Amino acid sequence: MKVLIPGPLLSYTKKREVEATGATLAELLADLDRQYPGLRFRMIDEQDKMRRHIRFFINGEQEFDMTRALQPTDSLQIVQALSGG
């Protein structure tokens, strides 16, 4: 499936759009990490929870459930919030 990568994570993929596979969101993130080592840790913490500044949108709808079933025709957009003072 098509995965859109936010600017702050381009250092891992070198491309704004990549392909990955997985039956669930968790499996898809594991595939991304296999292809781009270290990428998953920037999105998921040590307790397997989504980091506060990361949001996932599947086909344009925000998703929090890592067990969400995916179809090969779906698209995932990863959004990373900017923070600062």
Residue 85 belongs to some domain of the structure = no
Residue 34: other Cβ atoms inside 10 A: 11
- Digit-by-digit pLDDT tens for the chain (85 residues) are 999 999 999 999 999 999 999 999 999 999 999 999 999 999 999 999 999 999 999 999 999 999 999 999 999 999 988 665 5
- Do the domain assignments include residue 59? yes
8 located within any domain: yes
Task: Give me the domain span that covers residue 59.
Answer: 2-80
What is the distance between the alpha carbons of residues 67 and 85, in angstroms, rounded to a whole number? Answer: 34
CATH code of the domain in which 15 resides: 3.10.20.30
Whether 72 is in a domain gets the answer yes
Q: Is residue 26 in a domain?
A: yes
Q: Domain count for the chain, please give it.
A: 1
